[in-house]
Amino acid sequence: MFVRVRSFMSIRVRSCLLLGTITAPNTLDGWKDCVHRQFWIVFVAVKGLTIDGPGRFDGQGSTWWRIKAIHFNGCPGLRLKGTTHINSPFLHISIKECQDVDIGNLQIKAPGNSPNTDGIDISDSSHVNIHDSNIQTGDDCVAINGGVVDINVTNVWCGPGHGISIGSLGENGGHDTVEQVLVQNCNITGTSNGLRIKTVPNGTGYAKGIRFQDINLVNVQNPIIIDQYYCTHSGNVVCPPQSSTKAVQVSDVTYTNIYGSSASKFGIVFNCSEIYKCTNIVVNNVHITGDADLDTGGEDLAYCKNVQGEFVDTTPSVSCY
């Protein structure tokens, strides 16, 4: 479905319009015209677009976990408010090359075991606010990719899923940049990751000026993690060697007032490159407890390698080498 609309057109998805729900095909035959496309619904070069709920988009993803649901490309001044998004066949909402974006009061839901069903993906965009939303998926609740500046994620409830992620950055030897990211007042529950920065060896660029603050984490497998050796290890993917001479640089990252519990023995993992250490990493007033059933006796551990930073009032205690 390609939607052609004028600039500053508002679309109101209500029970009296579109019967309250835009529904994707529920058979593979119904998707046959989309096989060579990446998205179900696409908005391109629409200035001042507003989509205002209530109302919902049902991707019926269990039929075919493949097509991405809604894509906004080059839509400055985008406003997406009050809608519900369920069962995308792939990621639910994609934001690319957009500026001055406000996304709020959304409900996004897919089964916890559904593949690649990210809630909101952002790339090559600036001045994006995501707030007051509930995201339950089988992948990242929010994925912040390369080419972004000034992203705020506030009052988001996340889980199940893979948490709030920056990256993957530097895939296939690419150059990616991320700066000025604020994640605050969020609740993350039952996810595989909590607050994650992931970069792929042999890429270039940087991730800097990132703040995580006032976060509650409950039963999260990897509550806080920076991984500069990330690789999917799936299909025919060949992972770059960890001895690669290039890396996406990670610097100026702050974690403040973060509390919660880990579902594994590690509460904090900083796995940084020998070539480009993670620098100016500040952890202050962070307290994460472990699973009492693990062999740590309920005391979480921290892993920290190739990091320069400051660690104050932190549980588990962080010691880097």
H or E element: which one contains 261?
A: strand 249-262
Under a CB-based contact definition with an 8 Å cutoff, are residues 183 and 155 in contact?
no
Task: Name the phi and psi angles at 72, rounded to 5.
Answer: -110, 120
Cβ-based neighbours of 236, under 8 Å, separated by 6 or more = none
Q: What is the number of alpha carbons within 13 Å of residue 163 lying toward its C-beta?
A: 25
Under a CB-based contact definition with an 8 Å cutoff, are residues 85 and 52 in contact?
no
162 is catalytic: yes
- What Å distances lie between residue 115 and 192, 236, 291, CA to CA? 13, 17, 27
Catalytic residue among 71, 131, 162, 287, which?
162
Check residue 7 and report its DSSP letter: T
The whole-angstrom separation of Cα 108 and Cα 119 is: 6
Cβ-based neighbours of 284, under 8 Å, separated by 6 or more = 254, 255, 256, 257, 310, 311, 312, 313, 314
- What Å distances lie between residue 31 and 61, 62, 68, CA to CA? 11, 13, 12
SS3 32: helix
The 10 Å Cβ neighbour count of residue 56 is 17
Any idea which residues carry the catalytic annotation? 162
